[in-house]
Amino acid sequence: MAQADLHAAVLDWYGRVARDLPWRRTRDPYAILVSEVMLQQTQVARVVPRYEAWLDRWPDDASLAAAPTAEVLAAWVGLGYNSRAVRLQEACRVVARDGWPRTAAGLRALPGVGPYTAAAVASFAFGEQVAAVDTNVRRVAQRLGRGEPEALLPPGRAADWNQAMMELGATVCRARDAACDGCPVAKRCASAGRVQIAPRARGGTRERFEDTNRWARGRIVEALAAGGPLPAMDPQRLRRALDGLVRDGLVVRDGDDVRLP
């Protein structure tokens, strides 16, 4: 299959089956950045209502930049990795002061914005011809056997192509359950029908989420956001989690007083 045929097949498929997600209906860089940060390691179904509520409360970068950080953290509770909320607000403070960078390279300079997020915002909001390469996109490209994702970009269609490749990886060319029968390019895919799935690691005991430091940190932020006392847990575990939260700027400690910033 020629490259142009590959592009046509994937883009036509995406045009027919794409999920109607709210961040796909806008070119506002702020709204797109919010969605990309929220979607990091969080399922789409959980993000949609939180994303819409967030934009109702803080509709633009200036309003988020001016918000009390404690309120921002409280609104983020349940999405995980609370430091993302702080970095998002920091990025919006830079933008509110200096304006939006319009390239992936410029966006990389914003707090908390990595290569993928920068490319996603640059292509979706500003039309830059750049590949947004997340785990799904890289997996699809590797299975197709067509080289690196950057080499697959169709001329002038980066935004649509990035969305289509993400959709294909999320819904069809999945990591552990490739649905090759539903793939628009299965007939010309190097891996069709014989995708190699790496076996899950065996042996040892997998740590429960409730036993992790991340869980303890999340419970502390949730308790402080609700205006209640610190959660009951082992004193050493509580101290270790608090020390990390203070170090990351997510909690302020003043003597015995502990609060959100």
Residues 151-185 pLDDT 10s: 999 999 999 999 999 999 999 999 988 999 999 99
Q: Are residues 228 and 164 in the same domain?
A: no
Q: Are residues 141 and 47 in the same domain?
A: yes
Q: Helices then strands (H, E): number in the chain?
A: 12, 2
What pLDDT is stored for residue 228 in this prediction?
80
Q: How many residues does the chain have?
A: 261
State percent of the chain over pLDDT 90: 68
What would the mean pLDDT of 2-22 be, rounded to a whole number?
A: 95
Domain assignment of residue 250, given as a range = 209-259
Per residue in 58-102, pLDDT (tens digit) is 999 999 999 999 999 999 999 988 999 999 999 999 999 999 999
Which residues participate in catalysis according to the annotation?
36
Q: Quick one: which H or E segment has residue 145?
A: none
Question: Does 107 map to a domain?
Answer: yes
Contact between 123 and 130 (Cβ < 8 Å): yes
At residue 105, does pLDDT exceed 90?
yes
Q: Are residues 159 and 99 in the same domain?
A: yes
Q: Provide the domain count of the chain.
A: 2
Q: Are residues 95 and 158 in the same domain?
A: yes
State percent of the chain over pLDDT 70: 95
What pLDDT is stored for residue 205 in this prediction?
62
- SS3 string, 154-173, reads CCCCHHHHHHHHHHHHHHCE
At residue 198, does pLDDT exceed 70?
no
Question: Does 58 map to a domain?
Answer: yes
Measure the CA–CA gap between 11 and 165, rounded to whole angstroms. 9
What pLDDT is stored for residue 177 in this prediction?
87
What pLDDT is stored for residue 181 in this prediction?
93
At residue 235, does pLDDT exceed 90?
no
Q: Are residues 31 and 145 in the same domain?
A: yes
Measure the CA–CA gap between 241 and 165, rounded to whole angstroms. 38
Contact between 149 and 137 (Cβ < 8 Å): yes
